[in-house]
Amino acid sequence: METVVGIEDNDDGRFEDSGVDRSSSALSSPKQISNPIVYKLVRVEGDGKLVPATDDEVMEVGDFLEYENSEMHVVTNTGQSLECISIERSSSGKLRLECLEEADLGKLNAKLQILQKVKEEEKHRISCGSPVHSHENIDSQCSADKFPVMDGKVQSETPCQEIPSIASSFNYTHSNQSGSIDQCSRPSEGVIESGSSASAVYSNLKSDISMSDGEICLDKLSIRELHELFKVTFGRETTVKDKQWLKRRIAMSLTNSCDVSATTFIIKDNKIVRKFEEDSSGNMNAGSLISSENMTEEDVNFKDSSAVDACGIDDNQVVSETRSENGLEYENYQTGQRAAKRIRRPTKRYIEELSENESREHNPRLSISNKTVGFGHVSPTSNVRPARNAFSEARTYSTRLDSLGGSNVQIPCVSRVRRSRPRKDIASLMKFHPTGMGEAEKLSNKLLEHSSDAGSDFSDKVLKSRMPAKFHQPSSSEPVKEQCPVICPIELRQELRPKRADPSGHTSDDNNIVTVPTAKGGMRRKHHRAWTLVEVIKLVEGVSRCGAGRWSEIKRLSFASYSYRTSVDLKDKWRNLLKASFALAPADEGINSRKHGTAPIPEKILLRVRELAEMNSQVPPNYSSSQLASGGGSVHGDRSGYL
DNA sequence: CTTAGGG
DNA sequence: CCCTAAG
């Protein structure tokens, strides 16, 4: 698939065209939306110039891209979702990667136009003192499709399905009408209701959306209003009651940009411009205030749910959206929930246990929205990463060729993407608030199967490993944290890297080890770190090379990049392997007959293990020499003679 | 510190 | 995985 990149310039807050012609896009041809997205990686210079990303830069985010790629197509098909990534590297030379849907800008502007139109009409109506309809039908089913579209451009033949956001934009203003075409034909009708308490909602909405102040502040909208807006935007109703979610979605739709804070926009000269840091503090306050003020009963449940950072890295939602198109609103909602959960604020207890200093920054949305990027620096629970988790939940199986002992073996690879994900923030959090750890874990629970702790792990064995590994994989698989117990933004990238990407072996998954303080004062590893096939293979190779028993050496040679896996671990694993290899019916010679549920370790490997074991006479007398020595020949290039 | 074994 | 006793 091709690639696009939407670039966005932070400095003037304006959308920058990334070379893709957007002007012609959105409004007219719905096709464009379904067209493949094209991405391009560029860097935004300080002066706002776009510079093609260098290879290095690309590399830097390569993992990220890899990650996205697989999902991208899904998104593409929806025709309406957008996938965004935003990576910023430094304050000065920003490396930004964004994927914007081609039609986004156009769409956006179209929407604005519509809005403006509406607004004008409203004004007109108001000035005329036209009566206002009650909002009796606020929740009416008024389907967007039924309404005539005012804007000619939009009207054209935009399939509402495809671009509901546009088609319904207008509708939005009067969607609350009972759905009668008549009324609808009078666009401004019903929406405007200045002063009427009955339709306060709408008047509110109106004012909020109005551009007089040149600003759309989703924060000010109530749930209901958000619903409306949502409907307008996406052409369908939603039952989701999570405000944050709604806001985010709407905002995303509006800007189609990822690092939208879902909060505030400024409209300038018919262009939507984002509001940036300048007013961050203000926004923050406003945001928090509003969010609590406007909270309706329905919201209560989500009160503490913080929105996923607006960065739109939430693929689930995007995907789910497509689904809900089929009426699976529930699912949509669920996903939304999940999204919220991911960054969901810790439960009360957790919060309580947090120190005050933390509490303020605790709303991820806020913090993020104010830090255009602030990846790892935001609140502990907000993370961009988890978004990927759902995705990674699906394991991808594949086979790869691995050479073991000289022969090629087809090994099934389960890539548990994102099996563990060291969240620096969490790490630091746990470190500073050990008591809160339990909660923190609950949070990351399924998502972060192995939440790892960088902070406390420097006290662990990792320290002991004075391996040169550090030089092998500087930023990825090393316990760098030792140096910076707090937060190492540098390492963030690492998290993007899918696990075991490289069969060659030097792919350690993450380096972080979760350790928990033990009663005796020592540190204890918390989770089992499943041995991956790669590791096993390396181990076997190591043993074949150095001989069983020289674990520290093997560790040094083959596991330098695996900061966890101590030599003892290797030994233990080997022991298990031995057991396994011999457990496997000596009669069948490994051809098959493996107990179900047994580790997916390929026979060949076990065979090899056995072989090695034999060579080292670690073999139980019964199974000695004979069968293996001969039969095993098929498996290896015979490195015998090592030990 | 590294190994070997038991738990 | 952890713990510990032995080189």
For tokens 């499709």, the residue is A145
Rounded (10°) angle between helices A223-234 and A200-209: 60
Strand C closer than 7 Å to the CB of A71? no
Task: Specify the pLDDT at position A585.
Answer: 57
Topology of domain A533-634, CATH: Serum Albumin; Chain A, Domain 1 (1.10.246)
| pLDDT tens digit sequence for A134-188 | 333 333 333 333 333 333 333 333 333 333 333 333 333 333 333 333 333 333 3
The nucleotide lying nearest A460 (C-alpha to C1') is: C2
Task: Specify the pLDDT at position A49.
Answer: 53
Is pLDDT larger for residue A572 or for residue A409? A572
Whole-number Å distance between alpha carbons of A115 and A117: 5
Strand C closer than 7 Å to the CB of A529? yes
| CA of residue A602 to C1' of nucleotide B4, angstroms | 27
Strand B closer than 7 Å to the CB of A553? yes
Strand C closer than 7 Å to the CB of A63? no
Task: Specify the pLDDT at position A36.
Answer: 38
**Mean pLDDT, chain A, integer:** 44
Which of the four pLDDT bands, split at 50, 70 and 90, describes residue A606? confident
Strand B closer than 7 Å to the CB of A568? yes
Instruction: Please check the confidence at residue A235 and state whether its pLDDT lies above 60.
Output: yes
Strand C closer than 7 Å to the CB of A375? no
Task: Specify the pLDDT at position A254.
Answer: 62
The nucleotide lying nearest A572 (C-alpha to C1') is: C1
Task: Specify the pLDDT at position A289.
Answer: 31
Whole-number Å distance between alpha carbons of A492 and A497: 10
State how far the alpha carbon of A16 is from the alpha carbons of A9, A44, A64, A102, A164, in Å. 6, 10, 22, 12, 25
Task: Specify the pLDDT at position A597.
Answer: 55
| CA of residue A616 to C1' of nucleotide C6, angstroms | 22
Strand B closer than 7 Å to the CB of A446? no
Whole-number Å distance between alpha carbons of A413 and A416: 9
For tokens 């490997």, the residue is A605
Is pLDDT larger for residue A543 or for residue A302? A543
Instruction: Please check the confidence at residue A554 and state whether its pLDDT lies above 70.
Output: yes
Query: Poorest-confidence range of A309-313, A611-615, A628-632?
Result: A309-313
Q: Where are the domains of chain A?
A: 420-525, 533-634
Strand B closer than 7 Å to the CB of A552? yes
Q: Is residue A402 within 8 Å of A411, Cβ to Cβ?
A: yes
Long-range contacts, A367-370 (Cβ 8 Å, 24+): A367/A284, A368/A259, A368/A261, A368/A309, A368/A310, A368/A311, A369/A261, A369/A262, A369/A263, A369/A264, A369/A280, A369/A283, A369/A284, A369/A287, A369/A309, A369/A310, A370/A261, A370/A277, A370/A280, A370/A281, A370/A283, A370/A284
> Which residue in A127, A337, A355, A333 sits closest to A230, CA to CA?
A333
Task: Specify the pLDDT at position A580.
Answer: 81
Tell me what the mean pLDDT of segment A610-627 comes to: 54
Instruction: Please check the confidence at residue A630 and state whether its pLDDT lies above 50.
Output: no
| CA of residue A461 to C1' of nucleotide B5, angstroms | 20
Whole-number Å distance between alpha carbons of A114 and A270: 11
Tell me what the mean pLDDT of segment A85-99 comes to: 32
Taking the stretch 41-60 of protein chain A, residues with Cβ within 7 Å of any atom in nucleic acid chain C are none
Strand C closer than 7 Å to the CB of A520? yes
| pLDDT tens digit sequence for A408-456 | 333 333 333 333 333 333 333 333 333 333 333 333 333 333 333 333 3
Residue at shortest CA–C1' distance from B5: A572
Task: List phi, psi (to 5°) of A434.
Answer: -50, -35
Strand B nucleotides in reach of protein CB atoms, 7 A cut-off: 1-7
Strand B closer than 7 Å to the CB of A571? yes
| Token duo for residue A207 | 């004012």
Task: Specify the pLDDT at position A599.
Answer: 53
The nucleotide lying nearest A568 (C-alpha to C1') is: B3
Task: Specify the pLDDT at position A217.
Answer: 55
Taking the stretch 548-567 of protein chain A, residues with Cβ within 7 Å of any atom in nucleic acid chain C are 564-565
